[in-house]
Structure 1
C-alpha cells in the first residue's frame, strides 16, 4: 500500500531499472505499422482515418507554410493521448505527470517556432513584443513584459499538462480510498461515492484527450505567429 498520495507519481523501478523507459516506448509498440498492400486491415484503416482527422483539425489555424509540421504535430498528439489514456489503467504509470518530461516536449518545439520566426521574418517576430500604438513611456515596460511572457510559454505548456493530469489522478485516488473505507461502514454512502468515482473516471478520460489536443493546438498557434 502506498505511503502517500504522491507516491503514485514516482517512477517505478524493477531490479534498479526505471520503468519509465518502458512506459515511454510502449505507445509506439501498440500501433500497427502500415503495410505495402493496397488493402489494409480494419485497424490500420481506422488508425489512418483518425490521424487524418487529427491533422485536419490541427491545420485549421495554420497557413500553407505551416502544413509541413502536420506529421510532427499529429504524431505528438497521438503519442500524448496514448500516454495519458494508458496512465488511467490500474497498475500503470503516467509519464506525462512528470514536469521534466512535458518540458522536454514543450521547450524544443517552442524554441523551434521562435527560431523559424527570427530566421524568416525577424521584423514581424520582434514586432509581437511591442503592440502597435503603445504610448512612448510604456514602451520599455511592455517590451519587458512581452519578453517574459514569450519565455514563459514552454513552462505554461508543461505545467498545464502536468497539473491537470496530476489533479485528476489525485482525485481518483482520494475517491477510491473513500469507497474502500466507507464500504464496511455505510453501504449507501459508499454506493453514492462509487457513482461519483465512475463519473470522475469518465471525466478523466476526456481530460486526457483534451489536454493532449490543447498542448499541440497551442504549439500550432505559436507556430502560426512566426510563419
Structure 2
C-alpha cells in the first residue's frame, strides 16, 4: 500500500535510500545497439522511417545553413519518447515526470540558443523584441512582453512535459487503487477504462516528446 499518492514518483530507491530509479533514464539506450548487429526488424524499420521524417522536418525548420543541428533534436526526441513509453511499464520509474529531468533538458538548450543569438546575431535578436507594425506608444510594452515570454520558455517546456506525464500516471493510479473495493461487474468496466487510458497515455507520451522537440527546434530557428 502506498503511503501517499505521489510515492510512485519518488526518485529514491528503497535500497539504502539510493536514487537508483534514475538509472531508468538510460534503459532506452539499450535498444539502439540492436540496430548495429541484429537483422533489421519491422520495429527498427518503423523507427528508422520515423526518425528520417523528423530529421527532414527539423531540417526545414532550421534552414539549409543549420540542417546538421536537426540530428540533435532527433536525439532529444528519441530520449524523451523512450523515457515516456518505458515509464508506462510497471515498476519502471518515469524520470520525465520530474522537473529536475525536464529542466535539465530545456534550460541548457535555451541558454545556449540565447548566448549564440545575442553574440552572433545581436541586431536580429533586438528586432525580435518588437514585432513588425507595432505602434510607437506600444513598443516599450511589447519589448517587456517579448522579454518575459522569452525568459519563461524553458519553464513552459519543462512544466508542459512533466505535467502531462504525471497527470496520466496519477489518474491511472487513482483508478487502480479503487479496484479492490469494487464488485466484479464494475471491475470489468474499470479494467476497460484503464486499458483505454493506457492507450491514451501512450499517445500523450509520443505527442509530448514531439512537442518538446519541435518547440526546441523553433526556438533554435529564431536565433538565426
Superposed, 1:1-227 pairs within 5 Å as 1-13=1-13, 14-32=15-33, 35=36, 41-43=39-41, 46=45, 47-182=47-182, 186-227=183-224
Name stretches of at least 5 consecutive residues in structure 2 with no aligned partner. none
Cα separation, 2, equivalents of 1:45 and 1:93:
25
Tell me if structure 2 keeps the 8 A contact 1:114–1:226. Answer: yes
Offset of residue 34 of structure 1: 5.7
Query: How high is the TM-score relative to the length of structure 2?
Result: 0.91
Alpha-carbon deviations, 1:191-210, whole Å to 9, x = none?
Answer: 11221111000000010111
What is the root-mean-square deviation of aligned Cα atoms in Å? 1.9
**Residue 65 of structure 1: how far off its partner (Å):** 2.2
1:138 and 1:50 map into 2 onto residues whose CA distance is 44
Kept in 2: contact 1:99–1:162 (CA 8 A): yes
Cα distance in 2 between the residues matched to 1:120 and 1:86:
40
- Specify whether residues 69 and 197 from structure 1 end up closer, same or farther in structure 2 by C-alpha distance, changes over 3 A only: same
Stretch moving more, 41-50 or 150-159: 41-50
Per the TM alignment, residue 33 of structure 1 is displaced from its structure 2 partner at its CA by 5.9
Structure 1 segments unaligned to the other structure (5+ residues)? none
1:67 Cα offset (Å): 1.1
4+ runs deviating over 4 angstroms: none
In structure 2, C-alpha distance between the alignment counterparts of 1:111 and 1:217, rounded to whole Å: 17
- Is the partner of 1:133 in helix, strand or coil? coil
TM-score of the pair, normalised by structure 1: 0.89
Q: Is the 8 A contact 1:97 1:162 kept in 2?
A: yes
